């Protein structure tokens, strides 16, 4: 039997703003059909296991940068990569990072659609001279290849950062087009394990362009206001699941 969610569903007649998270925007871009079925009809994609190691690396990096944030000091990585910045201190940082696990983060109301556009950031740095904010995202990986942002799946990383930049600009902050990814790469070539992983930490920058975000929000509004289920995204494996489990027969 198909389990339908009854809460957090889009209703075009509702007066309260409807939350659209960064991850749901990405889902819409990947597959409008999956997005529609999830947000309007209450049938989510199949769940995925959590990435506990990634979460642990994120928290440890936050802890490390928070120690420097208190004293307004730069990290050694910033010095190494010649980034003239320090970790940004703000009373709302804990909310933006979702330190309390409320699954909201930084939100801004897009008045023309009545959508709250939300995203959970990993960190924010501030340029010491220009006072522009740098959006920062932590990534954990384990590869012997050179780390880059040009792999196909990493285009989602770029969109993620661009959405965050757009949100903070709408919130009134001066945000740099440059964003930074902090990669923690676990090595595999140690002669023995000894119950520990050694990480090499590096920074990659992305010159972002958030000009696509606004038009995408309007496209999402049009999609949700329609009574018709949109077409699948190209090669969407989740839509194959929907067909195999007869989801579409149970959404009427």
- pLDDT tens by residue, 148-160: 898 877 899 999 9
Of 58-62, 183-187, 206-210, the range with the lowest mean pLDDT is: 183-187
Could you tell me the residue range of the domain that residue 94 belongs to?
18-250
- pLDDT tens by residue, 197-248: 788 999 999 999 999 999 999 999 999 999 999 999 988 888 876 665 555 5
Angle value at C-alpha 65, between 63 and 71, nearest 5 degrees: 110
The model's pTM is 0.90
Query: Does 47 have pLDDT greater than 80?
Result: no
SS3 108: strand
pLDDT at 99: 93
SS3 186: strand
Residue 211, exposed/middle/buried by CB under 10 A (0-12, 13-18, 19+)?
exposed
Q: Which residues contact 209 (CB under 8 A, 6 or more apart)?
A: 162, 177
| H-state helical runs in the chain | 22-30, 32-39, 52-71, 76-80, 93-96, 155-170, 213-225, 237-244
- pLDDT tens by residue, 82-127: 999 999 999 999 999 999 988 889 999 999 999 999 999 999 999 9
In the beta sheet, which residues pair with residue 178? 207
Asked if residue 6 belongs to a domain, the reply is: no
Asked if residue 127 belongs to a domain, the reply is: yes
Asked if residue 73 belongs to a domain, the reply is: yes
How many domains is the chain built from?
1
- The phi and psi torsions of 48 (rounded to 5 degrees) equal -120, 150
Asked if 105 and 202 count as a contact pair (C-beta separation under 8 A), the reply is no
Asked if residue 239 belongs to a domain, the reply is: yes
Asked if residue 4 belongs to a domain, the reply is: no
- pLDDT cut 90: percent of the chain above it: 68
- The phi and psi torsions of 30 (rounded to 5 degrees) equal -75, -45
- CATH no. for residue 122? 3.90.320
């Amino acid at each position: 039997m198909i389990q339908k969610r009854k809460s957090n569903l889009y209703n075009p007649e509702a007066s309260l703003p409807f939350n659209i998270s960064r991850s749901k925007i990405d889902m819409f871009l990947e597959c409008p059909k999956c997005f529609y079925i999830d947000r309007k009809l209450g049938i989510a994609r199949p769940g995925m296991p959590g990435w506990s190691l990634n979460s642990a690396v994120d928290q440890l990096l936050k802890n490390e940068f928070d120690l420097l944030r208190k004293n307004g000091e730069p990290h050694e990585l910033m010095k190494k990569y010649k980034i003239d910045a320090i970790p940004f201190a703000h009373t709302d940082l804990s909310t933006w990072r979702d330190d309390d696990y409320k699954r909201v983060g930084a939100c801004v109301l897009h008045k023309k659609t009545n959508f709250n556009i939300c995203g959970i950031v990993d960190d924010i740095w501030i340029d010491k001279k220009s006072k522009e904010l740098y959006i920062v995202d932590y990534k954990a990986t384990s590869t012997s290849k050179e780390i880059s942002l040009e792999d196909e799946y990493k285009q989602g990383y770029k969109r993620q950062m661009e959405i965050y930049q757009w949100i903070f600009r709408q919130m009134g902050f001066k945000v740099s087009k440059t964003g930074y990814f902090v990669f923690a790469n676990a090595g595999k070539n140690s002669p023995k394990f000894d119950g520990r992983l050694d990480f090499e930490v590096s920074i990659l920058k992305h010159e972002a362009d958030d000009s696509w975000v606004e038009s995408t929000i309007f496209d999402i509004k049009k999609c949700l206001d329609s009574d018709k289920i949109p077409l699948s995204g190209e090669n969407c494996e989740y839509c194959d699941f929907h067909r195999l489990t007869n989801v579409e027969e149970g959404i009427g």
